[in-house]
């Protein structure tokens, strides 16, 4: 982990200006749960690479076999268990140091001048009722009723060394019924991906090492990268979903379940999606509607060639093929 005392090295300024600031649509506003002073939220210190004080939860939260009662809300887009996280350049999951945390948008936030990071623990009936109604749509056969929730929201936060007015708004929601545990990652306005000390352009907030989204269990087995994490396309995360609600990802994390598809090597495959997992395209996999991956020996047809595609491989028509 990088220390709070580490010196940040800012890259040379590139004079390219992109006037493209996103807006929060009404649909994205509804994806975010209520937050702010009006609902009793607390705030983290307004400092670069800062974090909340240690938060002792009134209810244990089970995260892949481990029960946690102590949380930190970190300004750089992470809710961590047990220890604060000051690292500003996101690493790929799984993490070498085994740190367990949830990362709605792990990037170099600097809210010293603007933006607020809110958090609260709640058993309020209004919020829990909304969570339960939406969970019933995502997991219709689960019969789940949350009794506790923890909401962390990064509201209009800028990036480190920003020379623009670009800000991001996103949220992590942890909830449980005392036995089963879930996380929701909610996204509003997303307009930047990278801070200056992570190689980003100071005028655009793009380039360098972009933000990471997902979670890391700490056991080197259960971890997940939301598609396009640590790529330039992560700026479109508020248009993606695994529950057909743009700007929302939902996971069961006492065990490992994701509605809408399967998890394969920390990546998400939708129901009935097929791909080859090897670079010779000799092992074809399909995501079954029961959420399980099935892989069998099968090669590309003779008129197709094996090509990389995102995080896996696909059979594509050879440019030299005639029909």
Which stretch of DSSP H or E encloses residue 150? strand 148-157
Q: What is the pLDDT of residue 287?
A: 87
- Same domain membership, residue 165 and residue 282: no
Do residues 194 and 295 share a domain? no
Domain-embedded: residue 95: yes
The alpha carbon dihedral of 29, 34, 38, 41 has a sign of negative
171 and 305 together in one domain: no
Q: What is residue 98's predicted lDDT score, i.e. its pLDDT?
A: 81
pTM, rounded to two decimals: 0.77
Q: Are residues 209 and 181 in the same domain?
A: yes
The count of structural domains within the chain is 2
Peptide bond into 94 cis (omega under 30): yes
Structural domain includes residue 18: no
Any idea what DSSP says for residue 207? B
Residues 187 and 64 grouped into a single domain: yes
Say if residue 212 is in the same domain as residue 108: yes
Q: For residue 19, tell me if it sits in a domain.
A: no
Residue 114 placed within a domain: yes
Q: What is the pLDDT along the chain (323 residues), one digit of tens a residue?
A: 443 334 464 433 332 332 233 334 444 458 999 999 999 999 999 999 999 999 999 999 999 889 999 999 999 999 999 999 999 999 988 888 888 999 999 999 999 989 999 999 999 999 999 999 999 999 898 899 999 999 999 999 999 999 999 999 999 999 999 999 999 999 999 999 999 999 999 999 999 999 999 999 888 778 888 989 999 999 999 999 999 999 999 999 987 666 667 777 667 777 888 888 888 888 899 888 877 788 888 888 888 899 887 678 888 886 554 44
pLDDT for the residue numbered 258: 64
Which structural domain, as residue segments, surrounds residue 303?
274-317
Final residue before a domain boundary, out of 259, 290, 308:
259
Note whether residue 6 is domain-resident: no
Both 243 and 307 in one domain: the answer is no
320: helix, strand or coil: coil
Q: Given its phi and psi angles, is residue 65 left (phi above 0), alpha (psi -120 to 50 degrees) or beta? A: left
16 occurs within a structural domain: no
249 and 279 share a domain? no
Whether 206 and 311 share a structural domain:
no
On whether the CB atoms of residues 191 and 22 are closer than 8 A, the answer is yes
Q: 286 and 188, same structural domain? A: no
* Residue 153 belongs to a domain: yes
State whether 220 and 283 are in the same domain: no
pLDDT of residue 256: 65
Q: Is 322 contained in some domain? A: no
- In terms of DSSP bridges, do strands 267-270 and 261-264 run parallel, antiparallel, or are they unpaired? antiparallel
Q: Please return the burial class of 171, using the count of CB atoms within 10 Å of its CB with bins 0-12, 13-18 and 19+.
A: buried
Looking at residue 207, what is its pLDDT?
98
139 alpha carbon, distance to own chain's centre: 20
pLDDT at 20: 32
On whether both 148 and 284 belong to a single domain, the answer is no
């Amino acid at each position: 982990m990088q220390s709070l005392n580490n010196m940040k090295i800012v890259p040379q300024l590139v004079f390219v200006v992109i006037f493209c600031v996103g807006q929060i649509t009404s649909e994205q506003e509804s994806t975010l749960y209520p937050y702010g002073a009006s609902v009793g939220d607390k705030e983290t210190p307004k400092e670069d690479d800062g974090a909340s004080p240690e938060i002792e939860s009134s209810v244990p939260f089970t995260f892949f076999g481990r029960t946690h009662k102590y949380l930190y809300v970190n300004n750089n887009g992470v809710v961590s268990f047990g220890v604060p996280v000051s690292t500003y350049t996101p690493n790929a999951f799984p993490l070498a140091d085994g740190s367990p945390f949830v990362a709605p948008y792990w990037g170099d936030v600097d809210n010293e001048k603007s933006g607020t990071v809110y958090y609260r623990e709640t058993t309020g009936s209004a919020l829990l009722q909304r969570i339960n109604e939406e969970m019933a749509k995502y997991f219709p056969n689960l019969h789940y009723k949350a009794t506790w929730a923890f909401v962390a929201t990064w509201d209009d936060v800028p990036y480190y060394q920003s020379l623009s007015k670009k800000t991001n708004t996103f949220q992590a929601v942890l909830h449980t019924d005392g036995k089963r545990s879930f996380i929701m990652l909610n996204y509003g306005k997303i307009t930047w991906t990278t801070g200056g000390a992570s190689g980003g352009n100071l005028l655009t907030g793009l380039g360098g090492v972009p933000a990471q989204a997902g979670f890391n269990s700490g056991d080197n087995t259960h971890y997940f990268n939301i598609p396009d994490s640590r790529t330039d396309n992560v700026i479109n995360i508020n248009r993606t979903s695994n529950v057909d609600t743009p700007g929302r990802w939902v996971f069961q994390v006492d065990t490992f379940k994701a509605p809408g598809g399967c998890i394969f090597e920390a990546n998400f495959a939708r129901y009935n999606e097929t791909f080859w997992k090897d670079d010779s395209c000799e092992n074809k996999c399909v995501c079954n509607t029961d959420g399980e991956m099935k892989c069998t020996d099968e090669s590309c047809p003779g008129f197709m060639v094996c090509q990389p595609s995102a995080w896996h491989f696909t059979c594509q028509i050879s440019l030299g093929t005639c029909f």
